[in-house]
Amino acid sequence: MAVMEAGAPATEHGREITVRGLVLGALITVVFMAANIYMGLKTGMTFSSSIPAALISMGALRFVGGAGILENNIVQTQASAAGTLCNVILVLPGLVLIGHWHGFPFWETSLVCLIGGWLGVAFSIPLRRALVVGSDLPYPEGVAAAEVLRAGHTDSDDRGLATLLGAAAGSGLVAFATNGLRLLADGVLTAFSLGGAAFSIGSGFSLALVGVGYLVGIGACLALLTGVVVAWGIMVPVLTALAPQPGLSPGEAAQAVWAGQVRLVGAGIIAVGGFWTVATLVRPIARSIRAAAAAGRPARAASRQERDLPLALVLGAGLALCVPLGALFTRFAADLGIAGPTLVSVAAASLLFCVAFGAAMAAVCGYLAGLLGSSTSPISGIGILTAMVGALLLPLILGQAVGPDARRVTVALVLLAASVIVTAASIANDNLQDLKTGQIVDATPWRQQLVLIVGVAVGSVVIVPLLSLLYGAYGFVGSMPRSGMDPALALTVPQASLVTQIADGIVARTLPWPMLLLGCILGAAMVGLEVVLKRRAFSFPALTVGIGMYLPLSVEMTIGVGGVLGFLCERSMRRRGAGPELVEASRRRGVLIASGFLVGESFVGIALTAIDAASGRSSTLSLAGPGIAEAAPYLGLGAFAVGLAVTARLIRGPFEAPLKSAAAGTGELRAQDR
């Protein structure tokens, strides 16, 4: 896929950092952050804002005289912090759930986001050369964002822009009928029992996830589907057969076993696969650091693509951030009643843990951004791993120094550390994806890194009022800010509840450790398989197998469908005699369609979230009644099947005529030979 305008000077694309771009990026950050916080607290899911931000930037700046591709790229880089910094809600609300906080204090919450976010930027800069420049990772959402920018700025590619916008319109229409009007089901899930074992099969109907699967490729999708088979085809039936749950339907029993046990197996595989990923990245990262150090100051680098922020400055800034981070932990621990030598030990250990473990998780998340994209990276899994490790280590330091309230004190400290690490890892995840977009459009890396620092700062100030507003308006399930509130409207904060539950389970020694250990054993086996297949030039990341067990079934299956669809389209063209140029052109068209799917569903999601937040209730536009609810699964399945068929036709369609001509020519030659 020809996705990079190599060697194009900056002057061909216009300016990069401008005042109007920074202002626009800040405004988009506020809007997308509000939407993401509401969606994340309500469903546990957030979305990447890079692609919608790129489109909004192109449209907005055209009203003030237009802008070059690099200026629009800078705007989406800054605004992408909105969809990323909000991942702190996957952990931080746990402090409210356990009763330590009775709201979100401004300075503590802002510092968690600011320090964690800036550490994430610092961690990601040395990773760029290893994971972006010197890697063949697909970066599906980074490539999609670049295609959006290129399609909007390349005069000769009007058909490409039309293809992208057409796909966005189709995806947005389906998403609006599904999530807005509720006329179509968002997926189908069937469960049945056989000999006491519960089975559950199904898929989601999201065209955006189909697009993610297409961009990811068949290798990662097969690894993802392997995790699905292990989780839902083997473990769930076996565990439900061994421990029947009277009173639950097969679907409820399967879901309960997956959420309470099988997900922990997936977390174990993610842990082993993540540490293996870090181990394999040690040499590339070391080379990346040496290359960054050799490049010196940005202005002195031979090529614009070599210009990162100076490594010495990054290292100094990272060390400087340790001061306020240490002060944050010291103040927090003191408020918990810890004093004396134990206070110093706890603050120092928490600081060391955030830096060391945070750097490792940043590398893992950067790899996941390249493998799956930031929207489908299991950031909550990183939060769970962090909480597990912290809950195991912290009691060794605290000992008996915290008295009878040791359980709450320990969990609170673990949640604070996990919040910092999740924020850092999330920003690294997003930053590397943005840097991939920048590489494709020939942007200057250090300018993107600088603007992301600005985006984190803006988001850190905005996030606290938004969190406080939503908590005060709706409350959380299990924690209402005042009496008399309607519990039916309370936000579920599912991921923060899960992380808190696991941390508390470890401290209280009630966590089902056999499941986690089984996951570690399976993870080691998958790593071995990954090594063997890699020698045969086939991608099968072990980490993705764990993700296939950890993410919901509807998400995994839909991504897998997208990967298989892309594989079958390409295989069909090759079988019909398509040469490399036609296959490459078909693949590029597929990338535009997949990118359009992401654009359409993202924008509809933002609009529906804003409408629900304004109305104060869920499903504001829903038209679903009893009759429609019964038909919705069939209508959704039909619309999804039609969408897949049309997608396959569009990917191959423009190239069928050349293939038929080539086939006809071959037939004529054969006739002459006879």
Q: Is 377 inside any structural domain?
A: yes
- Determine the length of the chain: 674
Distance CA(595)–CA(144), nearest Å, equals: 5
Residue 115: the pLDDT is 93
Which tokens belong to 550? Answer: 């950890």
State the pLDDT at residue 289. 66
Residue 672 belongs to some domain of the structure: no
Structural domain count, the chain: 1
Q: What is the token pair recorded at 107?
A: 């300075």
Amino acid residing at 18: T
263 close to 501: Cβ distance less than 8 angstroms: no
**String of b and e for 340-364 (b: at least 16 CB within 10 Å)?**
eebbebbbebbbebbbebbbbbbbb
- Please report the pLDDT score of residue 416 as a whole number: 92
pLDDT at 578: 72
Contact yes or no for 618/39 (Cβ under 8 A): no
3-state secondary structure at position 491: strand
pLDDT of residue 405: 66
Backbone torsions φ then ψ of 5, nearest 5 degrees: -90, 75
Helix axes 542-550, 340-372, angle to 10 degrees: 100
Is 1 part of any domain? no
Count the Cβ atoms, other than its own, within 10 Å of residue 234. Answer: 11
Name residue, tokens 């802002």. 110
CA geometry: angle 251, 42, 419, nearest 5 deg: 105
Residue 409 resides in a domain: yes
Distance CA 613, CA 466 (A): 11
User: Backbone phi, then psi, for 295, in 5-degree steps?
Assistant: -70, -25
In order of 184, 186, 497, 596, 645, the CA distances from 178 in angstroms are 5, 6, 27, 17, 19
- Token representation of residue 436: 């991939």
Cα angle for residues 182, 170, 45 (degrees, 5° grid): 55
Question: What is the residue range of 388's domain?
Answer: 14-663
- Which pLDDT belongs to residue 665? 47
On average, the pLDDT of the chain sits at 79
What pLDDT was estimated at residue 323?
93
Q: How far apart are CA 172 and CA 51, in angstroms?
A: 14
64 and 45 Cβ atoms separated by less than 8 Å? no
Query: Is the separation of the CB atoms in 309 and 298 below 8 Å?
Result: yes
Q: Does an H or E element contain 30, and which?
A: helix 19-43
Task: Identify each DSSP E strand in 55-196 by its residue range.
Answer: 187-194
pLDDT the model gives residue 116: 92
pLDDT tens column, 603-654: 787 677 677 767 766 677 878 776 777 888 899 999 999 999 999 988 887 6
Question: Would residue 208 count as lying in a domain?
Answer: yes
Report the alpha-carbon distance of residue 224 to residue 190 in Å, rounded: 20
Task: Please give the pLDDT value at position 641.
Answer: 94
Nearest to 429 by CA among 86, 2, 29, 151: 86
Distance between CA 474 and CA 489 in Å, rounded? 6
Q: Report if residue 6 sits inside a domain.
A: no
- Regions of the chain with pLDDT less than 50: 1-11, 155-157, 665-674
The span from the first CA to the last CA of the chain, in angstroms, equals 40
Rg (CA), the chain: 25
606 within 8 A of 35, measured Cβ to Cβ: yes
Q: Establish if 526 belongs to a structural domain.
A: yes
Interacting residues of 660 by C-beta distance below 8 A, sequence separation 6+: none
In a domain, residue 4? The reply is no
Cα-based torsion angle of the residue sequence 417, 422, 427, 429 in order, rounded to the nearest 10 degrees = 140
